Amino acid sequence: MQVRIRISVGPRHAGASPGRPSGREPSSLLTEEEPRLSKPEKPTAALGASSRVALGILVSRITGLLRQSVFAHYFGASSVADAFTAAVRIPNTLNNLFGEGVLSASFITVYSRLRARGDGEAAGRLAAAIFGLLAVVCSVLVLIGVAAAPLLVDVIALGFQAERRALAIHLVRILFPGTAMLVMSAWCLGVLNSHRRFLLSYTAPVAMNLVMIGCLTMFGSGAAQERLATDLAWAFVLGSVLQFLVQVPRVLQLLPDFRPSFETRSDDVKTVVRNFGPIFMSRGVVQLSAFVDSIIASELPNGAVAALSYGQTVALLPISLFSMSVSAAELPALSSAVGTQDEVAAFLRKRLSAGLRRIAFLIVPSAAAFLLLGDVISGALFQSGKFGHKEAVWQWGILAGSDVGLLASGFGRLFSSCYYALLDTKTPLHFATIRVILTTVLGVLFSLPLPHWLGIDPRWGVAGLTASAGIAGWVEFTLLRRGLAQKIGPVPISSTYMSKLWAMALSAGVLGYFAKLGMGSTHPRLLAAVVLPLFGIVYLGGTALLDVQESKAFLSSVRRRLGLAGS
């Protein structure tokens, strides 16, 4: 006999019987007339998926760091670097909104659920309709962006004057066609991720990074910085086109009958569009925080905007690798969960708990390394040409500020994915708004008057910006966790487990710090080649000795790959 059910995972009320509706809106697309077609996948299924996401992001981020390193070599922390960094923030923001946020939370959740119900035809129609809608959005974005470039620059870089402002406006107008292609790349990512094809979608940005690196190396020597910045903007456009094109063949294999459409009347399309608004606003207010940081940084001494960008690139690396990979892999699986209310809630709690452990295992040592070895990391990545040791120490302070909220940001991404899987798009928006307001107030306080009160160089206000964002991140995470506990029950993470991670991460960091002092004025990359592996070995070995299963599993995997199993 087939079971017909309705899922409604909402706040638990005393006396409610298991599986009965609680009076709230259903958290699933299933209705009473729709059959239960599948059970949730086993929690281990996403482990391989998250590893593929992490691998794709790792390759992309490594080439991105190489691009930033070459950029720093030719531009340093100059006013031209400020102008290009501010200009490119607009397409990067739109890519983050569409690629990592809106499509992941609105399109993938509906598309994955249709496929879980066996309705591949409806899923294909939905993909075609969303493609058509995005094509229209892209065309409008390009026209608005080119026409409104002066206004956009005045908004994102309030402190820019004269040459910096004029150059930023010129660059924004070049970059906007590339922005459109990044949005279409986000659609490809949504389709590929829904089919659990993670590697290609997350390695596609490598194409853009390589084009930009090639531009810098070919035209950088002897070129005026203003001219080189213009060439680099055109390279960005070409790279964004390639980023889209490398994904298209695989997408068309998954959608053999694909024909773009402008269908907006189907319930599935309406669901995506209805969810789009709150999620776009939620991601938008988070990106607004980055804009606010850029605006505040533009009021600081020359080079502050570029320095903030360098620091954020490094600080976001562990979030992208370890938190985004887990969250991106979990979202389709969480969205496909079916069963009674208690079954779905238990399944979500189990996956979230395992995801939190994986995220913590890798982000905790990242935070310790930023705090104790930030100059080693910055020196290895950027110290060359116009970027000297003084700038590397400056970056250390910025990374130390980012440390404040690193773990909260990592956990928060996973919790937000669970809200989206439950089709609750408004709650994360409310909490993100609180975060942005708090970030803005604290950011102004910590970056502008605080250095003056402390009697230090005003440029250290950039570290105050990153620290203020971290404090606000913890407030947002606390609200997300408390709200989700009301829906599915609490999702704890062992304090003993966290204590083991922090104890070994800090111990490894202190050992690395003294090793750095002992090596003296060694070349920054040679210094990093000794200190950072030492840090990693001590952390992995120590956590394995403390019986941390994630560490044992990682070391066991390494031994197998090296052919040392059983030796």
State the helix-helix crossing angle for 341-382 and 524-545, rounded to 10 degrees: 150
The tens-digit pLDDT sequence of the chain (567 residues) is 333 333 333 333 333 333 333 333 333 333 333 333 344 444 344 445 667 777 777 788 889 888 988 998 888 878 888 889 888 877 777 666 665 556 666 787 788 778 877 888 888 888 898 898 888 888 888 888 889 888 888 877 777 877 888 898 899 999 988 888 888 888 888 888 888 787 888 888 899 999 999 999 999 887 888 899 999 999 999 999 999 999 999 999 999 888 888 887 888 888 887 777 776 666 666 666 776 787 788 788 878 888 888 888 888 888 877 887 787 777 777 777 667 788 888 888 988 998 899 899 999 999 999 999 999 999 888 888 778 888 888 889 999 998 899 999 999 989 988 888 887 878 888 898 898 889 889 989 999 899 989 999 888 998 998 999 899 999 999 999 999 999 999 998 889 999 999 999 999 999 999 999 999 888 889 999 999 999 999 999 999 999 999 898 888 877 877 766 554
Tell me the C-alpha to C-alpha distance, in Å, between residue 43 and each of 190, 350, 403, 432. Answer: 22, 7, 30, 28
Q: What is the CA radius of gyration of the chain?
A: 24
Tell me the C-alpha to C-alpha distance, in Å, between residue 414 and each of 16, 197, 357, 553. Answer: 28, 19, 11, 22
Which residues are paired to 387 by β-bridges? 384
Q: Which of 470, 449, 313 is nearest to 387 (CA)?
A: 313
Q: How far apart are CA 364 and CA 379, in angstroms?
A: 21
0.75 surpassed by pTM: no
Going from N- to C-terminal start, the domains of the chain cover 58-493, 494-567
Q: How far apart are CA 350 and CA 366, in angstroms?
A: 25
